Amino acid sequence: MNKITELEKGHETFKKVKFKANEDRFKKLVSQGQNPKALFIGCSDSRVMPNMITSTGAGDLFIIRNIGNFVPAFKPDSDFHATAAAIEYAVSTLEVNDIIVCGHSHCGAIGALYKTLVPTEENIHTIKWLELGTTAKRVAKAALPQVDKAELLDYTEKVSVIFQLENLLSYPAVRRRVEEGTLYLHGWHYDLASGEIAYYDDEEMVFRALGG
């Protein structure tokens, strides 16, 4: 196996600098266990770094990352459901107070919804997964039939976040705790070029600048 030289060097720097500076913090996370306040559901895109864009550290966020930051609707079967299992664990075991679904600009998954993809044995799971974005695409195209591609993609990314929030409510534990007032859902859209985050205002049904 070839050495991943740059990652190895990065790890050495982490041990000597960041770990040393936060050693007590890491030891407490081992002895006391994790107690994150929020579940962050984000895209696997390498340009989106949840802890960096929220200025959080180890133990602060329970993070789920997948292609497109999609949330499959709840299905009460015995199949393997990685995203669903992580949601249940965060809500029922860790008892997080907030769930953030964070989409982002220039999302490859959303862009792929507008391309013709040919299924092969090498992409069969990817194409199936992208079906979770088709409703957002349909709604976006109906709402903005005569806009340029960039605007349509931006709108689709944001609409998709809203649909993922709706899918979250199909999970029994999520719905129960939301109705009890012990869990809050948030929809975010992160702009890669500006570093700005917009949040979904469900009363006005628009995205607004976070902290603005």
For residue 199, the 8-state DSSP code is: E
Torsion sign, CA atoms 128, 129, 131, 134: negative
pLDDT-based confidence at residue 1 (cuts at 50, 70, 90)? very low
- 13, pLDDT greater than 90: yes
Do 26 and 42 lie in a common domain?
A: no
Q: What is the pLDDT confidence band of residue 2, given thresholds at 50, 70 and 90?
A: low
Burial class (CB in 10 A: 0-12, 13-18, 19+), 173: middle
Same domain flag for 52 and 110 = yes
Mean pLDDT of 51-58: 96
- Whether residue 112 sits in one domain with residue 29: no
DSSP structure string for 14-75: IIIIIIHHTHHHHHHHHHH----SEEEEEE--TT--HHHHHT--TTTEEEEEEGGG--PPP-
Q: Are residues 88 and 60 in the same domain?
A: yes
Q: How confident is the model at residue 21 (pLDDT cuts 50, 70, 90)?
A: very high
Asked whether residue 149 carries a pLDDT value surpassing 60, the answer given is: yes
The tokens for 181 are 């007032």
Query: Within this chain, do residues 90 and 157 fall inside the same structural domain, yes or no?
Result: yes
For 65-88, give one letter per residue: b (16+ CB within 10 A) or e. bbbbbbbbebeeeeeeeebbebbb
With pLDDT > 90 as the criterion, what percentage of the chain qualifies? Answer: 96
Residues 29 and 83 in one domain: no
Shared domain check, 91 and 65 = yes
Plot region of 134 (φ>0 → left; ψ -120 to 50 → alpha; else → beta): alpha
- What is the structure's pLDDT at 206? 96
Segments forming the whole domain that contains residue 91: 34-209
**Do 99 and 148 lie in a common domain?**
yes
For residue 96, give the CATH number of its domain. Answer: 3.40.1050.10
Q: Is pLDDT of 196 > 80?
A: yes
In the chain, how many domains are there? 2
